[in-house]
A and B are shown apart, each in its own frame.
Chain A
Amino acid sequence: MALVDGFTKGLERMPGGSVILTSMDALADWARGQSLWAMPMGTACCAMELIACSFSRFDFDRLGTFPRPDPRHVDVMILAGTITKKMQPAVKRLYEQMPDPKYVVAMGNCTVSGGIFYYDSYSVVRGADTFLPVDVYIAGCPPRPEALQDGVLRLRELIHTRSLDEERSYERELTLPGPDTPRAGTTDACRGHLLSSPGPDGEDG
């Protein structure tokens, strides 16, 4: 890696070198977006819609997204389902095992903010972005498979449009949640596109 770094730094200093680097990077980003292998971190109900999304009716594979259960093979982790305090260290560890560059899609209300379990639950983590940097939020309880596919397409846009100077997901500093950790949806550390989805959120009868 030091050789590649040295090469790119040398290329930056050359006249016209930064243009080459930008376009190489853009090419790499374009290629990466076209083939996002996803880790289906499905804990609860949203996992059923994630599975339905991967199958013949909605077909994730035509977007290049392929479910791989191993974190070391994937680009994006799709968090589908409630994350509990018992499960949180396992999810964190799997995220850390993913190679860079990596992205996180928070699917479903429970990963966005705790969802229907926001109130009164003693064991639910209220939002995945309290401990992971989330790139795309998909609301819904559960979101429709089309909404999930839309989320992946938005992620693809995000990947394509990021420039060299912009902060990449793996360069963000991760802080452990503490008493001052901002609540879901208000944090600056995570840049994401909040998507609304036609999915019933049946919290009130």
Chain B
Amino acid sequence: MTNTISDIIDQQIDKTDLATRLKELGSDHELTKTWRNYHLIGDVIRGDVMAAHGCVIERVDKALDAEPLVVAPVDFSIHDKDEKSSEVWKSAGLFAVAASLALVAVVSLKPNQTAVEPAGQVIATAATQQVNQLGNQPAQANVISTSFEDEFGQMLVEHGEFSASSGLNGLISYSKLVSNQTLDQ
């Protein structure tokens, strides 16, 4: 049953078969639950699950119990050299999605640093302005939707890797990757 999810996540599925499998996924309660577990774990990895969701730890523990292989550490000493490693990597490959999301999370997904222009509002340009806003307003002020944050970060990584011959983009991407300081800390 979970092979379907594995195949989908691992992109081992034929495109023409994808729609059918996704329909199966939607109609099968157990599959849907497993799918949600995968994504819940992914959410936690990238720090998207807010305290407001409640019982998060418990939910994640249950999810991990249900899918113990998913979070098995990869043994790099045997990395993709033999069958064992390919099995390990297949397990890890299940999390191609989570991996990307985790990467995204690190690449400066700082909601409060991202000024947005909804409905014609003027974009904030001065960092000091933003800091002041953070000091005076609820944390959610100017926060863009989580899903768009994820997408934004993912697109940023993809953009950086494909950008012309100007490696400055690469530099920017990776500097953001190891960046720690955020306005909301």
Do A and B pair up? The answer is: no
Give me the interface of B with A, judged by CB distance under 8 Å: none
